[in-house]
Structure 1
Amino acid sequence: MEYMIGVDLGTTATKVVLFDDQNQVVTTVSKAYPLYRDLPDMAEEDLDEIFDALMDALHDIVREAHFKKDDVVAAVSFSSAMHSLIAFDEDWQPLTRVITWADTRAVKYTEKLKESGLGDEIYKKTGTPIHPMAPLSKLLWLQAEHPDIYNRAAHYLGIKEYLFHRLFGTNKMDISLASGTGLFNIFNLDWDEQALKVTGIHKEQLPTPVEPYEYETEMATEYAVITGLPSSTPFVYGAGDGPLSNLGVNAVKPGVAAITIGTSGAIRVVSDQPVIDPKGRTFTYALDKDHWVIGGPVNNGGDVFRWARDNMFDAEKSTAALLGTDAYDLMTQIASRVPAGSEGLIFHPYLGGERAPIWDANARGSFFGLNHGHTRAHMLRAVLEGITFNIYMVSLALEEVVGDLKSIQATGGFARSPLWRQMFADIFEQPVTVPEAFESGALAAVIVAQKALGKIDDLYEIEKYVGNSNTYQPMPENFDAYRELAPIFIRLSRQLQTEYENIANYQRKHAK
């Protein structure tokens, strides 16, 4: 039997999935690690914790597979969270932890770049909206607030590039992840001279851009021993998690949108060429040089649902622990008792600032319309509806750029919730299709590996392996409520934006 391994490097966990020669899931292993928020707006990871998670997960999956003598792992391929940055000195010693996409400490320098007009010029060449998530902004922040690190830094990598460097001694970055840095020109497929000039760094400090189909062999012996994989096993670079999510749910044809909600969320479509939004609201990232993913990411997805669980539903957490069930299932049962529209309660989910569609790291969450009749059940349903309204608002901007959305494929943790899936169908007034296989990112990474090794001719082979899917039809009886509330949600987000900076600065000033 010939197996393949797909690795999904996430913000709070690394998942490793073993596939057989029919691209069916054999087993999965997941290893979690903390996201450090020691200071206001900080969101960092520890390099060793992520490396150890990868080693442990690969070791465990090899052990659980019980390979026979003639079985082989043909490749290990990667899907990775985007926008991370790590600084290293000339001896490749790390000077920082992993500064993740969720870190917004660069907000002040991002706003200055926008106000200067240079931000818009750079966006139109890089396709990455000007926001603190991007390494472009993070470099400006390091230069201004940590000159000791900035001046010592000889190399900059993201987390996946660090893993490859440690395993193979390489210094490369696939063009998919490069296209999310804000430093990469998506039209000439190289580091952008203007972006480099703005940050004050040189091309030599950045990794060499490569196709997602490039791979490495001859892993360091000590790591081959730890993982149980032969040193000669090809490790394929793969691509960013957003582009691969589209591939993994077969949302690669024109007008087919993929909606993903995990910790964060996004809505994306695929184009055969880069497409730039004149208003700067959407991103354009590479899947490969022939497939470009256009969409909008949101900071606030499943993590907001988790916030609601941890702060409003302690009893359900305890009950679920005793019963051996999922607290989220109990919560959605409670929310389902409330009618569509939460009886006029609106929630803006901006607990972690926001990327698309408002691109404001100072944004903060709020309930609007609370009255004596509202309960925590209303608040919970409003939380789920608020996350959905926000994705819907992104979709309106996306349609201005790429045209009408013809269908929706859904993936991520939210796709397991019947209530949440139905909300999407009702608010978007479109059927929502959910593949039964949830390991879409890892499957897509494996498809990339198969193309890299010449086992398939093109990425459209994915259609054979996505498997069965369930489609959720919109319920017209809910249309009126959502049609009336969606415009209020959108207008409020614009009106509140005038005060987001003030309340965010107050919170930073009084943070403990």
Structure 2
Amino acid sequence: MGIDIGTGSSRAAAFDLGGRLLFSQAEEYPLSYPRLGWAEQDPEVVLAAVIKALKDLTARLAEHGYRPLVVGLSSVFHSVLPLGKDGRPLANCLPWADSRSTQIVNAWKKDPAARAWYARTGCPLHPMYLPGKIAWWHANEPELFARTARFVSLKEYIITRLFGLPWVDYSVVSGSGLLNEEKLTYDDDVLTALGIGPERLSKLVPTKTVLGELSPEWAAATGLPPGVPWVIGAGDGALSSLGTGGVTPGILTAMIGTSGAVRLASPVPRVDPKGRTWCYHLTEDCWLLGGAINNGGIVYRWLRDGFVPDALRSYDALNTAAARVPPGSAGIIFLPFHSGERSPYWNADARGIVFGLGLEHTAAHLARATMEGITYRMYSIFQALEELAGPAREVRASGGFARSALWLKIMADVFGRRVYVPTVPEGSALGAALLALIAVGALPDLKAAAQLVSINAAYEPDPENHTLYQELYALYTNIYFKLQDEFAALARFRERENKESACH
């Protein structure tokens, strides 16, 4: 079984030993946005969703006579919440989407000592990472900072509640900005800058560490039979690469869900001399080089919910309409930076742009342009990764966008590579289950696990479309770079407005 603790939902999925999906249960929960640039999440709501999804799944397994062998954990990267001495939250969790520390991080970007962190941590300076968030608490809520016994991710909080263990896996912490990836220890310089010691963080353990089994109380709450071991697992992006078969060099994995990410595997940690990509841990001999975007499917949903007629409010209807629009969206170029930019240029001030809009354009044109714009940003990461780690011969797709034949064809045409869609859409949950099988000795290694990933469909690139998209991508890139000063000026305006509204 694999449990994937995501941004907007938690999913529990069960697979047979051949990697075939048996059943899957998901429970959704909201993000709240109390102020401009802020995002928060109630960790108790997330824990309840995990328990509910697991309980519903175990009930279905029992109905069909299946007995769980092992449970593996996957979770979203970059979340943090403060725990008191009693192990309970002192405040809501700050997810990756929270950018309240932008000013702090922008100041660090001018500091040579802070800029040197990237070479050791594999995490560029950006508000989504934990240093900025912890520093914001220190500067703006010093009493809360002082009362915090331990800063933890959502996954660590759930492990603390279920097992009473103050542990974190190398994978989740490799996406925090706190880990020295060569030494696999917390980075002394980063912690010193934040005013904390390692005693205020969790114990570091390998991703194949067995947590043990649940207490009778939690076993009853989840419906799991006694004796089922849990494995700590890894971060969702790393496990998505495993669950889509992308753990060997040359296989690119591309995920678009709420956000998006592009990854290539490496046997050793690597950082980009230009600072465009990150480096996260899966196992001792598998690291994922990649980049992520804030604005994936969340932007397509934003368009659907607020800007299309009622007849196109379902994704199927909107996708069908968009498919009737030719490649290039009749001249619309969409820059999807609604909540800033992560990879490859890490500009939290960037904001969304629709360029080339005319009276002839419809909601269908905007829908296709949105898909293309998001894919262009993924392509910019793809280019950086090929420059860093060598050519990618194929793409493995996962996430909600992998249910759209149109979007997959757009990716094949933009990237100029064949795009494969695995049979199991829940890549992170499958990856968690496969890593758990390795941990308990049911599989020998990652290579054997990846061979269990089956392919459902493939999309071939069209050379003419690829040429067209290369022309439009060059325009897209030029527009982005020409507006850097304007992005910064607009950010200053928003910050001023935010302060004034807070005073009222």
- What TM-score comes out, normalization by structure 2 length? 0.96
- For the 8 Å contact 2:61–2:67, the answer to whether it is kept is no
Hey, what does 2:111 align to over in structure 1? Answer: 116
CA offset digits 1:200-249 (Å, max 9, x no partner)? 11010010110111122242332111111135321111001111111111
**What is the aligned residue count?**
499
Is 1:392 the counterpart of 2:379 in the alignment? yes
1:363 to 323, 339, 350: 350
Is 1:296 the counterpart of 2:291 in the alignment? yes
> Structure 1 CA distance, aligned partners of 2:418 and 2:213?
47
Hey, what does 1:474 align to over in structure 2? Answer: 461
Hey, what does 2:430 align to over in structure 1? Answer: 443
Hey, what does 1:217 align to over in structure 2? Answer: 212
Hey, what does 1:492 align to over in structure 2? Answer: 479
> Structure 1 CA distance, aligned partners of 2:477 and 2:467?
16
Helix, strand or coil: the match of 2:279?
strand
Hey, what does 2:441 align to over in structure 1? Answer: 454
1:373 to 360, 363, 366: 360
Q: Post-superposition shift, 1:472?
A: 0.6
> Structure 2 CA distance, aligned partners of 1:160 and 1:59?
18
Q: Post-superposition shift, 1:338?
A: 1.5
Hey, what does 2:280 align to over in structure 1? Answer: 285
- For the 8 Å contact 2:81–2:89, the answer to whether it is kept is yes
- Deviates most, 470-479 or 141-150: 470-479
Trace 1:64-213 onto structure 2 (pairs within 5 A). Answer: 64-66=60-62, 72-213=67-208
Helix, strand or coil: the match of 2:70?
strand
Helix, strand or coil: the match of 2:46?
helix
Q: Post-superposition shift, 1:455?
A: 1.2
CA offset digits 1:92-141 (Å, max 9, x no partner)? 23112111011111101111111112232111000011100001111111
CA offset digits 1:277-322 (Å, max 9, x no partner)? 011110000001110000101101000000010111241366xxxx
**Alignment-mate amino acid for residue 221 of structure 1:** P
> Structure 2 CA distance, aligned partners of 1:450 and 1:44?
34
Helix, strand or coil: the match of 1:73?
coil
- For the 8 Å contact 1:8–1:80, the answer to whether it is kept is yes
> Structure 2 CA distance, aligned partners of 1:98 and 1:381?
34
> Structure 2 CA distance, aligned partners of 1:468 and 1:128?
32
CA pair 317-64 structure 1, distance change in 2 beyond 3 A: farther
2:421 to 405, 424, 434: 434
Trace 1:335-350 onto structure 2 (pairs within 5 A). Answer: 335-350=322-337
- For the 8 Å contact 1:407–1:431, the answer to whether it is kept is yes
CA offset digits 1:313-336 (Å, max 9, x no partner)? 241366xxxxxxxx1111011112
> Gapped runs of 5+ residues in structure 2?
none
> Structure 1 CA distance, aligned partners of 2:172 and 2:447?
21
Q: Post-superposition shift, 1:72?
A: 3.0
**Misfit runs of 4+, over 4 Å:** none
Hey, what does 2:399 align to over in structure 1? Answer: 412
Q: CA RMSD in A?
A: 1.5
- For the 8 Å contact 1:128–1:182, the answer to whether it is kept is yes
**Alignment-mate amino acid for residue 22 of structure 2:** V
**Alignment-mate amino acid for residue 291 of structure 1:** C
2:241 to 240, 246, 257: 246
> Structure 1 CA distance, aligned partners of 2:312 and 2:365?
18
Is 1:20 the counterpart of 2:16 in the alignment? yes
Hey, what does 1:322 align to over in structure 2? Answer: none
Hey, what does 2:39 align to over in structure 1? Answer: 43
**Alignment-mate amino acid for residue 493 of structure 1:** Y
Helix, strand or coil: the match of 2:346?
coil
**Alignment-mate amino acid for residue 20 of structure 1:** D
- What TM-score comes out, normalization by structure 1 length? 0.95
- For the 8 Å contact 2:422–2:454, the answer to whether it is kept is yes
